[in-house]
Chains A and B, each alone.
Chain A
Amino acid sequence: DQQVKQNSPSLSVQEGRISILNCDYTNSMFDYFLWYKKYPAEGPTFLISISSIKDKNEDGRFTVFLNKSAKHLSLHIVPSQPGDSAVYFCAARSGNTGKLIFGQGTTLQVKP
């Protein structure tokens, strides 16, 4: 029972264009959503987050949108850079223990 789903295993984008990574969830009790970025042989690093009471959060080139009615969130990267090539994980926070439920990940490749 996958509560957080990233249905696109991979995405390829040209440098300078927009990258849009999608994530769907099933549990309406999630109160916080996060995106993590992971390079090979490294641990995931925090990228950006959004509270369930908001619908948008922006940080430089990264924007996360939350559509609660559709139980859907997306990460926009504009403009995309080759250094953004990595695996991106969507995560949702469950309860007050801070534990995160992760999606399967989407591998982003930004071509020069």
Chain B
Amino acid sequence: NAGVTQTPKFRVLKTGQSMTLLCAQDMNHEYMYWYRQDPGMGLRLIHYSVGEGTTAKGEVPDGYNVSRLKKQNFLLGLESAAPSQTSVYFCASSNHARTGNTIYFGEGSWLTVV
């Protein structure tokens, strides 16, 4: 049972480089989310999607772009990485917005920008 899978798990980038984090879920969920976790800041929502072909901004969207071309995939892109984007990134998905306990998280992607 894969659930929510994130790739890559670890990555080191140089300032100015670009990269894409891939999130895949096999639960046929409509809603998908990208969070980042930083010390003392909890998890902050970057972008989210309420269905295939839709995306919306969260709390901290600057410097990131997302795409939801397929229902099962949610991509997070960094066009020009900055040291402030060093963080742990978590993808999540849920099947029904009314039921809070159906939000499932991936294991995280550790990104370091030097």
Do A42 and B94 have beta carbons less than 8 Å apart? no
Do A98 and B103 have beta carbons less than 8 Å apart? yes
Chain A residues closer than 8 Å to B58, beta-carbon distance: 99
Do A43 and B107 have beta carbons less than 8 Å apart? yes
Q: Mark A62-82, 1 if CB is under 8 A from B, else 0.
A: 000000000000000000000
- The smallest beta-carbon distance between A16 and chain B, in angstroms, is 28
Q: How many residues of B contact A (CB 8 A)?
A: 29
Do A97 and B105 have beta carbons less than 8 Å apart? no
Stretch of B42-50, B62-70, B76-84 lying at the A interface? B42-50
Given contacts A89-B43, A99-B45, A102-B44, whether A42 and B107 have CB atoms under 8 Å apart is yes
CA distance A99 to B100 in the complex (A): 9
Do A45 and B105 have beta carbons less than 8 Å apart? yes
The listed residue (B40, B59, B101, B107) touching A34 by CB distance below 8 A is B101
Q: Mark A23-44, 1 if CB is under 8 A from B, else 0.
A: 0000000001110100001111
CA distance A90 to B100 in the complex (A): 12
Do B42 and A89 have beta carbons less than 8 Å apart? yes
Given contacts A34-B100, A43-B90, whether A102 and B107 have CB atoms under 8 Å apart is no
List B residues at the A interface (Cβ < 8 Å): 4, 31, 33, 35, 40-45, 48, 50, 56, 58-59, 90, 92, 94, 96-98, 100-101, 103-108
List, sorted by A's number, 11 A–B pairs whose CB atoms are closer than 8 Å.
Answer: A32-B100, A41-B107, A45-B105, A96-B97, A97-B56, A99-B33, A99-B45, A99-B58, A102-B35, A102-B42, A104-B41
